[in-house]
Amino acid sequence: MKLMDFIVKGAILADMKADTTRGAIDEMVGALVKSKAVAEEQRKKVVDAILKREKKGTTGFGNGVAIPHAKHEGVDGVVGMLARSGAGIDFAALDGQPVHLFFLLLSNPDKPEDHLKAMEHIFRSIKNDNLRRFMCQAASREELLELLREADEELD
């Protein structure tokens, strides 16, 4: 599984406007709804599922990255998106630093192995310091897409 297998290209946000955890999750899920990867009637339930997961423990893993995720029956397979916040958001990250890159991941509860594969691929990609730095500097959806493609090539 590659990043481009589950990242919804039309949902990528190069300049997220939110400045709170809830706002960030709302904006990211909204982008998935707008791109038709999540049904409008599932929006509130998906946001609530992600917030419930965040209450168990932050998904702000440090180095400016968070991977909010949830399992939800309202999605088929695995659906993900990438968002960049130029200003950074206090997402209760483990290192106490603001988060600039968000990989949101949703998966159907019937596909736990696909969820784990997608998470593993995100983690392997974000370990690359250069990739993280370039993603934080990206000014457009196209630049972020190109960086995702490069990350997939490096992990082949």
* This prediction's pTM: 0.94
Give the DSSP letter of residue 18.
-
Q: Residues 55-81: what's their mean pLDDT? A: 93
The span from the CA of 104 to the CA of 80, in Å, is 5
Q: Compute φ and ψ for 78, nearest 5 degrees.
A: -125, 130
Q: Is 69 an annotated catalytic residue?
A: yes
- Let me know the angle formed at the C-alpha of 80 by 66 and 130, rounded to the nearest 5 degrees: 50
Q: What is residue 66's predicted lDDT score, i.e. its pLDDT?
A: 97
Give the active site residue among 69, 100, 115, 121. Answer: 69
- Domain range summary for the chain, segments of one domain joined by +: 3-154
Domain range 3-154, its CATH number among 3.40.930.10, 3.40.50.1820, 3.40.640.10, 3.30.1130.10: 3.40.930.10
Instruction: List, for residues 91-137, the tens digit of each pLDDT value.
Output: 999 999 999 999 999 999 998 899 999 999 999 999 999 999 999 99
Q: Residues 38-43: what's their mean pLDDT? A: 95
